[in-house]
Structure 1
Amino acid sequence: QQNGSPFKRRPTVTPGVTGLRNLGNTCYMNSILQVLSHLLVFRECFLRLDLAQALELLASAVHGQLAEKSSSQSALYQRKGLQTSLGSGVGLSGGASRARSMELIQPKEPSSKHISLCHELHTLFQVMWSGKWALVSPFAMLHSVWQLIPAFRGYAQQDAQEFLCELLDKVQHELESTGTHTTTRDPQKRLIKQVLSVVNTIFHGQLLSQVTCLACSYRSNIVEPFWDLSLEFPERYHSNNRESAAQASCHLTE
């Protein structure tokens, strides 16, 4: 209470400094979502997507799947009260009542009538960068992942790198399908192509495999796309002599 006012000042949160609650071995998903959220160009493109004109059409055209419940979707998030079914306040909030009062819980249904990972990224980024919430329970994102990427269904431990590749593959497929849809408006088509270009520029690469015939010297080239590339550290970094390894720079070409 300040200057006789009955209203308490709401604690401020730095935009982007929003935690994602572990919903049961979902650290792999949370870590990837945090990384994607802090890629400036990637985040801004998804925040600009017009959900009403593009993403509903996107999901129905690509996946043809509907959320089980859509009547309550006007409220995309529910404020977390002090009494909760999640238990005794362990986790990111640390049991602090102030942190718990600044947490949002996504509904367990996707936040769109049609299931779309692009839609969920848009919605989640909006909340994470609103500066209003210290913690989010990303139920809608998790259940959308379960629906569209069945390999990650359940609460088993998963690999973050594999999740990133699967997520980007689905996002790319959604964008490509929507951008070519006949009923998508031209401004939205241009924006979707821009987002797709950003996704490909940041994450997409091409691997060239070349086979040379020893008899005629003919070269056969095969280009394969990839989302990630596993590289080993040079041999000098495998030795116990840390000083010699640290003196020389490690280049990608090695």
Structure 2
Amino acid sequence: MPTLGLRGLINLGNTCFMNCIVQALTHTPLLRDFFLSDRHKCEMQSPSSCLVCEMSTLFQEFYSGHRSPHIPYRLLHLVWTHARHLAGYEQQDAHEFLIAALDVLHRHCKGDDNGKKANNPNHCNCIIDQIFTGGLQSDVTCQVCQFTRPEHLGSSAKIKCSGCHSYQESTKQLTMKKLPIVACFHLKVSSQGADRAEDVYSSLRG
């Protein structure tokens, strides 16, 4: 009996960057449950241009039980249409593709799960935000008295410290204030030397 969800993707030139992200997304349990339960309500005038509709079709293909490789040409065309900086058959960055795809999916999810919470119209409640959105906190620390406060937009290189009441050099630290359900990490795998960049080979443990 075939294992559902295990299906290869045809490489359409140099689209391995897209295929690896598609494999990751189609095996994300919460996304799988959303798309296989037919919860998307398309509000676009042309459903054929909706990336969420295409992802729904893609999930159906992946979990249909068929083992022959799938050709994601429609997905590639829609990505080119809505994220033109990724258009063409050149190799692209997988992380950049993920960010662009999630952004387009977020925009095309209007109408799903009421889109926005009634008590906060600025807060999106679409499936993409539910799974992948977290919160960063940026702190600035005075190097003289070590007083720490949240960073405010528009601050200059030297910030007036509320602890020592003078302008001082400060350091900034980003921390995760709210973790997303699914956290995505971009790992750099090259080291820049004085004359050339070299690949870094190291085992990953998690």
TM bucket by the smaller chain?
Answer: 0.5 to 0.7
Partner of 1:178: 111
- Offset at 1:218? 7.2
SS in 2 for 1:20: coil
Residue 77 of structure 2, aligned match among 143, 153, 162: 143
Residue 24 of structure 1, aligned match among 7, 13, 22: 13
- Offset at 1:174? 2.1
Partner of 2:169: none
Map 1:63-212 onto structure 2 (within 5 A): 66=46, 112-113=47-48, 115-175=49-109, 177-179=110-112, 193=125, 196=127, 199-212=128-141
Larger proportion of strand: 2
Deviations 1:208-237 (A, max 9, x none): 11124668x57234699997555679xxxx
SS in 1 for 2:70: strand
Q: Which runs of 4+ in 1 moved over 4 A?
A: 212-215, 222-233
The CA RMSD over aligned residues, in Å, is: 3.6
- Offset at 1:159? 0.7
Q: Are 1:219 and 2:149 matched, yes or no? A: yes
- Offset at 1:203? 2.5
- Structure 1: gaps spanning 5 or more residues: 1-11, 61-65, 67-111, 182-191, 234-244
Larger proportion of helix: 1
- Structure 2: gaps spanning 5 or more residues: 116-123, 153-173, 190-201
Q: CA separation of 1:28/1:204 partners in 2, compared to 1, >3 Å: closer, same or farther? A: same
Q: TM-score, normalised by structure 1?
A: 0.52
Q: TM-score, normalised by structure 2?
A: 0.62
- C-alpha distance in structure 2 between counterparts of 1:140 and 1:171, whole Å: 15
SS in 1 for 2:150: strand
- C-alpha distance in structure 1 between counterparts of 2:188 and 2:9, whole Å: 31
SS in 1 for 2:52: helix
**Count of residue pairs brought into register by the alignment:** 159
Deviations 1:77-108 (A, max 9, x none): xxxxxxxxxxxxxxxxxxxxxxxxxxxxxxxx
Equivalent AA in structure 2 for residue 34 of structure 1? Q
